[in-house]
Structure 1
Amino acid sequence: MRILLLALLSLTVGHALKAQAYKKEEAKAFFVNQRYEEALAVLKTAESLVANDQEARFLLAVSYYQTNQLEAAGRLFQSIIRSEKDPFPECWLYLGKIRHAMNQFAEAAGYYKDYLRRIRANSPNRKMVWDDIRRCATGMRLQYLPSEVYAENLGPKVNTNGDEFAPVPSPNFSNRLYFSSMRSGNLGGRRDENGMPDSRTGQFYSDIFSCRSATGGGGNWQEVSSVGYLVNSTRHDVLLDFNADGTVLYFFQGWHHEDAKIIVDTFRNDKEERTVSSDVFKGPINPAIGDEAFFFASDNLVFFASRRPGGYGGLDLYRLEYKNGQWGTPVNLGPQINTAYDETTPFLARDRITLYYSTNHPDFSIGGLDIVKAVFNANSETWTTPENLLTKINSSEDDAYFRIAKDGFTGFFASSRKDGMGQRDLYAAHFDNFLPEMELRVDEYYGYVESRLVEPEVTGPQEDMAANPEGESLPALPEEIITTEEVASVPEAEMSAEHEITGEQEEVPVQPQVDGAPETASEAGNAGLLFLPPIYFRMDTPEAFSADQLRQLQTIADTMQKQEDAYLVLTAYQKEVESGKGAAIFKGAQQAEAVAKALLKKGVPNDRIFIRGLLSEAVGDQECSVDFSFYLPEGKAATTPLPVVGLRYANAVPRHPVHQRLLYKVQVGALSGAYGTNSLDAYEGVMVERQMDGPYYRYTVGAFTTFEEAEAFKVKLLRGAFTSAYVAAYIDGRRADQMRARRHIIDFPDLKAYTD
């Protein structure tokens, strides 16, 4: 009997050991295939194995780390170090990674050094860890620098426990974002690295999706939809870009890099055929040789990353240009951008000289890939030293695929930071101030206004698309495209901001008028006020200044020299001309520029002159007048009482709607020249402005005393003829950025709504 009991016990123990060994191997299989959630689930059911097997405990701790459960991972790594006689050196490595992820750079560097002390001198990991120590040093240097941007996770309706990456803002709709994702439910299901179905240890291949913001692009992203099986396939489908007007989609498709192609899709939404036309991109770029992360800056300019031979090491950035009817040879961006490390996911801003990209160079990164910015100097033909976007945007993990939306205030990127929901999540970057590199070039603008699109219905859930058998009605195409025949079927509420410009007069809210604006210095009741009468012009180009006018300009120059913190505001009033409001205010701005240039010759700095061009019939028998006012920063007192917009202001057109100390307007364009269409003619309060040290003319409409009114007007504009619009604040006639507006809240409480 005793022998029988021993035999049964041995058999039971043997089965238990086999079961534990099986669970360990199963967990390792998931682990090797980066299925960390499944590895975690298996190990959690094997308590005895984890308690007695250091390798199993280590796998459990790493799985916690990889699923972003940092506290649980840290406790388990510390437990292994305390309880094991010879703990794995990688326990210190991962403790460093955990501290690094928390931006505790000094503590992270300490753990990294502990790891280096425990590994062989010839270990291939030594350089990697030394680089991470250097990144910690960069983090300590950058951590507390001021930043006027913050990052926001797009939330659980967009991000999953899978992998979301490659965000691309819609070229036509400010509330729409496209992206790629490897997530549950994708068309191909789980597959192995060769593309064969593998439901046990395989990964989901990527599909392309879209989502919408319920607040016009500002947040609350939801309504995630697949772009449908006319684009998505059982292979990897990765969005690369759209062309400028959204009529062409570029995407990567393939089982892996060796057999992948770049597809160029032009859409036809024909009621009978409803087909998509696809072609392979013909340029000299090829994923099979390491080309990736393509950005189509235009139809004839592409930036991309590559490991092709002849680079500086790792991934390098290249540009490819289409000239004389053919694509040229890719050109490496050179050693000021590329390094022995990785440079990838380029994005060129609208000014065509500001380049955003990601690099893991330890001198520019606080960890993994970081988003940086460099600017090309055309005179010296060199790039500036890359600038890190700081810790409000970058993390210890990979931050990449940065894109800026057309509004110039919002960016999007993908990050594998450890406070996310999955492998990589999508984030929005909200900038306090408009990014000047996103000013709309005049040639770009005219291209946009020639083509206005109508928003189609939202694509249905992906499951319905995947289940749709061949031969039945097909799903909607990516919502950038709709034919003119379908316009009538779109509900009014669904009309996009980019419908065709008809020239019809749109109902405009009543613009506020200003009462009590003094007509002359004596009306203001300020003894000793510097009196500066307007300068009048009769011709398209200003006549030579009279002796009195030259003396007045010298007085202004002397005043600016004495009052070194003052800014001069030149306001031009121009009569409307046959070519429209946009052309008229630009003519007025040119007259103000003539005055500004005369002042520049007298030593007034160009960064202290702000010009405005307005419409008015009240300029007597003259065609244009230019008057003078000043802006003083908060807390600054004038040595001589100076005319200020809305206060002590001897202006040529009293009670004009823009003569208010606090004013809100809505910017609808920023061009390098005149406004060449009639789309401004339907609106009141039309104005053009320019800071004399900048190249762009900003066009605004409306005039409001509260942010709420201006915001409502902006929404109406976006439903009309304008693709982008945002509210701008003006204090004493000069535009105020977010920082300046915050400093004036005590004077104008309504600015709090603007700055929030």
Structure 2
Amino acid sequence: MLFYKYVLIGFLVLFSLSLGAQPKSTLKEEAKAFIATEHYEDAIQTLERSRQLVRSDEESQFLIAVCYYQLNRLEEAQALLASLTTADKSPYPECWLYLGKILHAQQQFAEAAAHYKLYLRTLRPDHPNRPMIIEEIRRCDNGLRLRFHDARAIVENMGAQVNTSGDEFAPVLSPSRSTQLYFSAVRPGNSGGPRDKDTRPDEKFGRFLSDMFYTQLEGGQWQEAKALHSLLNSPQHEHLIGFAGQGQVLLYYQGWNWERGEIFADTFQQSEQRTLTTTPLLAPVRGQNGEQQLFSYNDTLIIFASRKPGGYGGLDLYQTSFRDGRWLAPVNMGPIINSAFDETTPFLARDGKTLYYSTNDSKKSIGGLDVMRTVYLPEAARWSPPVNMGLPINSADDDTHFRLARDGFTGFLASSRKDGLGQRDLYVAYFTKYRQEMEPPTFSFIASPPAAPVASTPVVNQPVPKPPVSVPVAPSPTTNAYTWQTRSSSLNTAVRPTWLVSLAEQAKQFPEDHLVLTCYVPQNLQGALSSELYSALQLLTTYSRTLESNGIKAERIFIRALAHSEQDYQIDAHFAPVATSFSTRSVPVIGVEQAKSPANNALEEALCYKVQVMSVQRSVSDVKLSQRPQLMLEQASSSPYQRFTAGAFSNFAAADNFRRELISTGYRGAYVVPYLYGRRLEKGEAAQYLSSFPDLRNFLGR
């Protein structure tokens, strides 16, 4: 962490002064110079050139232990520091500090706090390090409380093909390819070679500056990272920020240091079309002021970190919106999010209201910068109190640049945790449950006018949509296949079905199965079909609550509303088994009884693909949407969102073609979703059904 770098530099200065009246050790002075420039391996090699320094000089031994710590060689550092603290002479106080750091990194929070307190006792009351050590003790206390929380994810290092002994950070998944990841790195071989603090070439003590890279996922493994084009990477720092212009524009920071640079936009031109200049970002985010940690949402909102005067202290998060053809003045996001510490690396999920960011606020963090989650509450016009994402997303070191993938199960972050290969490594997080915030709703607290933040954003000529033709609807369900069914002439006159209680009792005999409640709505209505489907879903919600009150968990209930060709409203229920093989049973299972009827279509097959068009949280009267074929509105009882889907296909290829058609007509967020026995199948579940439904392999490999 940055604090410990300053502690170490101060320690080196102190010892240099204390040796002023003594014969100087050339080797030690050279080693200190290497440590100050973060060349830890060189520092160790320099000191090891003298056996006497290594064996009997306590200062040299301490310096070697610090280098071991910085190189993630914790066991060697701990053994050397322990030997120094048991020596006859009083050890350097910083030995207790680094022992505390090692224990902190190993998540031994109580033991780490004890060593921090030992170091604290050696400091005079006015010592500048005292407040920072007290904050570390608070972080250990936070860690003690959070380590007993349920793990939400499995976190893995992305491996030596991606990470090095250098510094990898800022992972950004490609907006068009879920198997391609961009990132930035300070590593040997970068453009311009090693440079000193004044950016002059320095082969001995200089450090490389950051370049931009990408890696691809093949056969379940991330491949060797490759640098971006040489006209993007230069001798300066390049830091990849993200994408704009519907994924057609790459945003990146460029500068000789992290405080004075500029943010540019690249439009993925071919090599022979590139020039030596790129287009600056036309937004009130100032790279010249170090404002380079930003996130662009929907081309109309930018959230960024800044040290603007008038903030709450350190880096604060600000937002600026694009309105009426211009960017508004940035606004501080307020004291619920910001603190006297640093808040940085924001990520706004697809729902437009769930914000992730990192902070080192000692009231919330368990060590360094931690990833937090907060949700905007439109009714109260404020953000919810931030919640620490806990272990293993966070660690005792800096955890930043967190972003979720579109699949809702995968996340990426940069972390300096001590099990890594270098300073910061890239990690992938696999969540055990779908992150609902990755559903893109139609309505959000963020207005999104159709504009782009950069002048160079290309205009894509969209094909003119064809006039609607006859819209296919779901065939009338086969009544003799259902045990539970009721009809009504309108939703207002619909009576709560008497069979709900018996349905709940039957469901208890098949505790692993899901229940699917369906409301069929007449196609020929005067109003918009989208509004009627929403009303039907609201009615099914009351029925699902009855099932819950009779002992059926909400996670087992799936409700859906769709149109059919009859004049009455029809409500029915069926079971959706979670296993592909099951014994014959008396209850109706979609895809078994229903599929026998030649009148049924792909929607009633065991495996069906549809295309999600949008997510909503209120009624939508949309004529264009109502004209989509096989329009359906669905909701899992455990989810706050209703999701419109269209089409019904028996194979992934046909569904994917329909998805492209929807995107060309303006539904940019459309994507394919499989349904098994009428229930939505999340991507994380699909692999277990491959043997029975081989076409799912095409869905998983998209």
Q: Distance in 2 between matches of 1:187 and 1:721?
A: 43
Q: Distance in 2 between matches of 1:55 and 1:308?
A: 41
Could you say which residue in structure 2 is the equivalent of 1:695? 641
Identity, % of aligned positions: 38
Q: Distance in 1 between matches of 2:324 and 2:660?
A: 40
1:43 Cα deviation from its structure 2 partner: 2.6
Could you say which residue in structure 2 is the equivalent of 1:75? 79
Equivalent in 517, 520, 530 of residue 480 of structure 2 = 520
Q: Normalising by structure 1, report the TM-score.
A: 0.71
Could you say which residue in structure 2 is the equivalent of 1:238? 239
Could you say which residue in structure 2 is the equivalent of 1:465? none
2:417 partner amino acid: R
Q: Is the 8 A contact 1:416 1:425 kept in 2?
A: yes
Equivalent in 113, 117, 126 of residue 113 of structure 1 = 117
Distance 1:135 1:32, change over 3 A: same
Could you say which residue in structure 1 is the equivalent of 2:487? 535
Q: Distance in 1 between matches of 2:121 and 2:545?
A: 66
Distance 1:57 1:278, change over 3 A: same
Q: Distance in 1 between matches of 2:545 and 2:78?
A: 66
Q: Distance in 2 between matches of 1:290 and 1:247?
A: 25
Equivalent residues in 2 for 1:49-448, closer than 5 Å? 49-215=53-219, 219-269=220-270, 273-275=273-275, 278-442=278-442
1:66 Cα deviation from its structure 2 partner: 0.4
Higher radius of gyration, 1 or 2: 1
The C-alpha deviation readout for 1:64-97, integer Å capped at 9, x for no partner, is 0100011011111011112350211111111111
Q: Is the 8 A contact 1:414 1:424 kept in 2?
A: yes
1:259 Cα deviation from its structure 2 partner: 3.2
Q: Is the 8 A contact 1:269 1:482 kept in 2?
A: no
Equivalent residues in 2 for 1:422-571, closer than 5 Å? 422-442=422-442, 520=480, 531-535=483-487, 542=490, 545=493, 550=495, 553-555=496-498, 569-571=516-518
Distance 1:335 1:397, change over 3 A: same
1:627 Cα deviation from its structure 2 partner: 3.2
Q: Distance in 2 between matches of 1:320 and 1:734?
A: 40
Q: Is the 8 A contact 1:586 1:613 kept in 2?
A: no
Q: Is the 8 A contact 1:20 1:49 kept in 2?
A: no
SS in 2 for 1:350: coil
Q: Distance in 2 between matches of 1:501 and 1:41?
A: 68
Q: Distance in 2 between matches of 1:333 and 1:49?
A: 53
1:535 Cα deviation from its structure 2 partner: 2.6
1:371 Cα deviation from its structure 2 partner: 0.4
The C-alpha deviation readout for 1:633-688, integer Å capped at 9, x for no partner, is 99xxxxxx99553599899979766668x86857655433679689997xxx9865
Could you say which residue in structure 2 is the equivalent of 1:6? none
Q: Distance in 1 between matches of 2:138 and 2:660?
A: 50
Q: Distance in 1 between matches of 2:425 and 2:103?
A: 20
Pairwise CA RMSD: 4.8
Could you say which residue in structure 2 is the equivalent of 1:610? 558
SS in 2 for 1:196: coil
**Greater shift after overlay, 411-420 or 623-632?**
623-632
1:520 partner amino acid: N
1:103 Cα deviation from its structure 2 partner: 1.0
2:572 partner amino acid: F
Could you say which residue in structure 2 is the equivalent of 1:627? 571
1:438 partner amino acid: M
Q: Is the 8 A contact 1:357 1:402 kept in 2?
A: yes
* 1:671 correspondence with 2:615: yes
Distance 1:591 1:146, change over 3 A: same
Q: Distance in 2 between matches of 1:678 and 1:379?
A: 29
Q: Distance in 2 between matches of 1:481 and 1:198?
A: 39
1:405 Cα deviation from its structure 2 partner: 1.7
1:555 partner amino acid: T
The C-alpha deviation readout for 1:223-274, integer Å capped at 9, x for no partner, is 4222112211111111112104222222111112453112233454386x44
The C-alpha deviation readout for 1:452-479, integer Å capped at 9, x for no partner, is xxxxxxxxxxxxxxxxxxxxxxxxxxxx
Q: Normalising by structure 2, report the TM-score.
A: 0.76
Q: Distance in 2 between matches of 1:63 and 1:713?
A: 58
Q: Distance in 1 between matches of 2:197 and 2:685?
A: 54
Could you say which residue in structure 2 is the equivalent of 1:511? none
Q: Distance in 2 between matches of 1:601 and 1:749?
A: 33
1:194 partner amino acid: D
Equivalent in 45, 48, 66 of residue 49 of structure 2 = 45
Q: Is the 8 A contact 1:267 1:277 kept in 2?
A: no
SS in 2 for 1:193: coil
Distance 1:520 1:319, change over 3 A: same
Q: Is the 8 A contact 2:612 2:673 kept in 1?
A: no
Q: Is the 8 A contact 2:190 2:211 kept in 1?
A: yes
Q: Distance in 2 between matches of 1:22 and 1:385?
A: 54
Q: Is the 8 A contact 1:534 1:652 kept in 2?
A: no
Q: Is the 8 A contact 1:376 1:383 kept in 2?
A: yes
Q: Distance in 1 between matches of 2:683 and 2:123?
A: 51
1:254 partner amino acid: G
1:629 partner amino acid: A
2:516 partner amino acid: V
Q: Is the 8 A contact 2:519 2:537 kept in 1?
A: no
Q: Is the 8 A contact 1:574 1:584 kept in 2?
A: no
Q: How many residues align?
A: 632
Alignment gaps of 5+ in structure 2: 1-21, 451-455, 467-476, 579-584, 664-668
Q: Distance in 1 between matches of 2:42 and 2:190?
A: 19
**Greater shift after overlay, 175-184 or 37-46?**
37-46
1:175 Cα deviation from its structure 2 partner: 1.0
